[in-house]
Amino acid sequence: MTAFTDEEVRQQIASVRQWYHAIEVRPGIVTPGANAADLVLERLELPQDCRGLRALDIGARDGFFSFELERRGAEVVAVDYMAADKTGFGVASRLLDSKVRFVHGNIYELTPEALGVFDIVLFLGLIYHLPDPFGALEIVRRLSRGRMCLESHVIDHALQQSDGAWRDLPEDLRAVPLMQFYPGRTMNDDPTNFWGPNLACLEAMARETRFEVTSSHLVGARGIVNCRAVEDKDREFYNRIAREKA
């Protein structure tokens, strides 16, 4: 491990244009980052002792969750569509002397043949950025043999109106699986925002892709769904033929 001085650590942190995750890379030295990763982590129900487990972090960004799983003893693969040197991942990995394997790739490219299967799969803050969220969950299921943690923007308390204003989803609709579509830049002026599911929709999609929901949480405009992979041959068959010739 390279011994960096505190000043060198701060210089490396400053070399990253924008941090998404706040990561403690040395006692008392934390990267900047606006994401409330600590609050999400509290609700993911992950084992404190992950020794002997394989974990996959899809959409890892700067790597907060990847490095936390490594700290708990897991063998970790982190995936992001942006290269490690385009986010804070490369710097954080170096400063932490991490052994997390980083894969520069898109979720739609991931296969168990290339990566294997995992005891823990984190699918956090990504599904609403994907044009085919159900197809992405099918990919996640093929990579899963245990826990799956799903986190997303949700519309239960953030339904967007035609004028751009936000309101709560009406109470009588919260138990109905619903998803709002965001064309163009209509959601936060961000063309990568495609969908706003409600929590009931996240849960329903997880079940339809052969996960059992073990718990779920609403945290403001975010939803967290903890799951475990289960077998359902009928559901697997019908999901497969939806994308193949009969």
Token pair recorded at residue 37: 């990763």
DSSP 8-state symbol, 169: P
d(CA 229, CA 243): 21
| pLDDT tens, per residue, the chain with 246 residues | 568 999 999 999 999 999 999 999 999 999 999 888 999 999 999 999 999 999 999 999 999 999 999 999 999 999 999 999 999 999 999 999 999 999 999 999 999 999 999 999 999 999 999 999 999 999 999 999 999 999 999 999 999 999 989 999 999 999 999 999 999 999 999 999 999 999 999 999 999 999 999 999 999 999 999 999 999 999 999 898 898 876
What domains does the chain contain, in order, with CATH numbers?
Answer: 36-241 (3.40.50.150)
Write the CB contacts of 190 (distance below 8 Å, at least 6 apart in sequence): none
Contact 11, 95 (CB under 8 A): no
In terms of Cβ atoms closer than 10 Å to its own Cβ (0-12, 13-18, 19+), residue 236 is middle
pTM of the model: 0.95
Nearest to 103 by CA among 76, 135, 74: 76
Write the CB contacts of 153 (distance below 8 Å, at least 6 apart in sequence): 125, 128, 193, 196, 221, 222, 223
